[in-house]
């Protein structure tokens, strides 16, 4: 019995077709949002509108939504939280990966247990602590509650375990202390994991609506997501204007992801489950 010249299941064309269909399903809504944002108000979105594409929606959304202040606030909060998480995760992750002390496994299990606790469950005690410290309606109310994260600690701990311990032993023989080893040897080698943590944390903080909604009431502390929520209430039926505002808020994190995607993939691929 002769074999078929073309096996549907094993053909690269079959795999490419499935991947193309998946990409089409994912990108089609984004394309509709992008197309609608360029369509003049009151006109049905089409690929080639008669009056041409217009940037008027972007200008109006930027001005009406006061997105410049929102961008500044979101950038400040996201960068601050990301910086704190990288520092705390690097120190804690290195201690759990290299230092031998009693209760290390129990502490690791406690860190992992925090991953299953929703932030919303802790909002009342966090709010009371922030109120006691007179931090409500300040930038610190948006930064401190997520300054440390169990995911970041576990991620860096797992990556540190993949780095040969002989490098640290050689540096210790040359007189380097633990902090020097961490700063000059471990962290440069762990750049993929650090970029992964940076992207996850920054994008998560950029898209966060819960903390600004609960811990702040001042208009000057509005973040991008809070500004979008208020913008949606104000322009409920103006879809081109809403889509322009959504596109403006999405572009920064999209560019950030494209810049760091190679390191992100490498960081996830090389971070395995190690004891």
- Mean per-residue pLDDT for 220-245? 86
Instruction: Give pLDDT tens digits for 81-112.
Output: 999 999 999 999 999 998 888 888 999 999 99
pLDDT band at 8 (very low <50, low <70, confident <90, very high): very low
Instruction: Give pLDDT tens digits for 14-39.
Output: 788 888 888 888 888 888 888 888 87
CB 189 within 8 A of CB 163: yes
CA distances from 98 to 47, 149, 158, 176 (A): 57, 19, 11, 15
Instruction: Give pLDDT tens digits for 193-216.
Output: 899 899 999 999 999 999 999 999
Please list, in sequence order, all residues whose beta carbon lies within 8 angstroms of the beta carbon of residue 63, skipping any fewer than 6 positions away.
none
**Residue burial 126-160, b: 16+ Cβ < 10 Å; e: rest:** bbeebeeeebbebebbbbbbbebbbbbbbbbbbbb
Residue-level pLDDT at 9: 52
All domains in the chain, ordered by first residue? 68-269 (1.10.3720.10)
Residue-level pLDDT at 271: 57
CB 198 within 8 A of CB 187: no
φ/ψ of residue 45, rounded to 5: -60, 130
CA distances from 128 to 122, 133, 214, 222 (A): 10, 9, 12, 21
Residue-level pLDDT at 236: 73
pLDDT band at 5 (very low <50, low <70, confident <90, very high): very low
What's the Rg (C-alpha) of the chain?
24
Residue-level pLDDT at 176: 85
pTM of the predicted protein model: 0.84
């Amino acid at each position: 019995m002769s074999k078929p010249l073309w096996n549907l299941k094993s053909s690269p064309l079959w795999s490419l077709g499935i991947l193309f269909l998946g990409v089409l399903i994912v990108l089609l809504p984004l394309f509709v949002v992008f197309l609608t944002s360029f369509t003049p108000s009151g006109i049905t979105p089409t690929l080639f509108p008669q009056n041409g594409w217009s940037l008027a929606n972007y200008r109006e959304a930027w001005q009406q939504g006061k997105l410049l202040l929102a961008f500044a606030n979101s950038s400040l909060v996201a960068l601050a939280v990301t910086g704190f998480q990288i520092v705390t995760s690097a120190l804690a992750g290195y201690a759990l990966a290299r230092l031998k002390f009693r209760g290390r496994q129990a502490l690791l299990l406690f860190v992992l247990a925090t991953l299953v606790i929703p932030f919303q469950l802790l909002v009342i005690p966090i709010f009371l602590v922030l109120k006691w410290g007179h931090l409500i309606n300040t930038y610190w109310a948006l930064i401190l509650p997520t300054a440390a994260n169990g995911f970041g600690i576990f991620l860096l701990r797992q990556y540190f375990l993949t780095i040969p311990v002989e490098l640290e032993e050689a540096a210790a023989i040359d007189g380097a202390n633990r902090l020097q080893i961490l700063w000059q040897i471990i962290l440069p080698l762990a750049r993929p994991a650090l970029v992964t943590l940076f992207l996850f944390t920054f994008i998560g903080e950029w898209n966060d609506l819960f903390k600004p909604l609960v811990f702040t009431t001042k208009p000057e502390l509005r973040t991008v997501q809070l500004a979008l929520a208020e913008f949606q209430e104000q322009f409920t039926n103006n879809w081109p204007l809403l889509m322009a505002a959504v596109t403006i808020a999405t572009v920064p994190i999209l560019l950030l992801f494209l810049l760091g995607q190679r390191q992100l993939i490498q960081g996830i691929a090389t971070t395995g489950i190690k004891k």
